[in-house]
Structure formats: structure tokens, C-alpha cells
Amino acid sequence: MGAAQSKSKQQQDLQSRTDFSWDEIKHLHQRFRQLSGGRPTLRQDDFLHIANLQLNPIGSEITRAFFDKRNLRKGTGGLADEINFDDFLTIIGYFRPVDWAVGSGSEEVERLRKEKMKFLFHMFDGDFDGLITLDEYSNVVEELLYGGRRAQKEKDSVRLIARSIAQGAMREADAVSSRPKDASKEYPGISFEDFLKTWQGFDIAANMQVSFLNLETINH
């Protein structure tokens, strides 16, 4: 009786912290065990077997985001060597649609949207300094455009296009930034506040829905 009550409390705690249903949690735990080979933790190498990530042009950035301590709410920078199942659920939560929270009110929906935006911001901000520099923005855009699928001779032109897109994003962010304007000083990089302003019309809820409940691995 006591063990059953304890288990029920653990279930309730996990559900309240993650907002997943118990069926979803059980399903995700199966996927976690599949990826880890039965180990209690995951390493970045384990994500190499996920077919969907291998086909995604920014699969490496997404994988890295799973180990970003900022996303795990375990610090302001750096990568964790391994993540446990609770960590896994924390990251998967960023990809959930916000529809389920609509009844909670507009403030809760906005909070969840901001969390998704921060996750996306961290994918650009590779050096953990709280700013997206021109080079960082260019690198992610280049991955999206190039994706390793084009001929090598096209890479230079793709890099130029990515740089141009990144420069445009920097100019837009600088224009909406509340920092004091000084023509003699170059815009240092996009802060999270500026990032929110420039991506204001972006439907983050629709674009960050990944079917991790149907996560598939490559069989060897």
C-alpha cells in the first residue's frame, strides 16, 4: 500500500513538473531506454542513431541543445556530459505545442512561447555569452541552407548568402534594440530581448513541434 502510494506520488510529481500525461511519460521512457541501450543516461553519441536528426540540416545543433545546461536549467553555460530521463523530459517539453495551455490563460501561453524562443536563442548562441554574433547567426543559417547535401563547389556561394541573411538580421535587431545608439560602435550581437522583438511574428508554436513521441532510431 505504502509503495503504491509512493509510486503514485512520484507519478504525480513527474506529471506536474513536465505537463506530460502519464501515458506520454511511459512512452518517452521507452524511447529513452531505446536510445541509451538500457543505460540510465544519454550521451551525445546516442543521438547519432536518430534517423530524423540525421536528415535534419541542423541536427547537430538540436542534439547539442539537449545537453546545454541553460536549457536543462542547470547553469548559465556549458554542456552536460550526460543527461538523465528527467533532463530528457525537460528538453522534449520545449517541443510540445502550447495548445494544451490555452485554458490556463494568455500569461501561461506567453511564458511557454518565451521558453521556446529562449531554447531557439540558445541554439544560435553557441559560446554561451548571451549574444548571437554575426558569425554565430551565419553558421546556423549556412547549415540550414547547405545541410551537407549540396556539392562542395556550392558551399562558397551558400556561405555568402548565409552571411548576407545574417547581416540583415543583425541590422534589424540593431534597429529595434533599446541599447543607446552609437554610430562609432558596431552592434555587438543580438541579445535575447532583441531576439524576441525581431522574431515577434514567428509562429514558434507551429515550428517547434517535433514528434518525439514517435522517435525512431536506426537499426544496425
- pLDDT single digits (tens) 163-192: 999 999 999 999 999 888 777 788 999 999
Q: Is 195 within the bounds of a domain?
A: no
Confidence category of residue 89, pLDDT binned at 50, 70, 90:
very high
Q: What angle do CA 46, 73, 207 make, to 5 degrees?
A: 70
Q: Is 186 within the bounds of a domain?
A: no
Q: Is 152 within the bounds of a domain?
A: no
Q: Is 175 within the bounds of a domain?
A: no
CA distance 186 to 181: 10
Q: Is 50 within the bounds of a domain?
A: yes
Q: What is the mean pLDDT of the chain?
A: 83
For residue 88, give its domain range.
Answer: 14-112+208-220
pTM: 0.82
201 vs 144, residue with greater confidence: 144
Q: Is 47 within the bounds of a domain?
A: yes
161 vs 54, residue with greater confidence: 161
Q: What's the pLDDT score for residue 18?
A: 77
For residue 98, which of 109, 86, 83, 90 has the smallest C-alpha distance?
109
Q: Is 102 within the bounds of a domain?
A: yes
Q: Is 64 within the bounds of a domain?
A: yes
For the chain, what is the domain count? 1
In this predicted structure, the answer to whether residue 45 has a pLDDT above a threshold of 90 is: yes
CATH number of the domain to which 58 belongs? 1.10.238.10
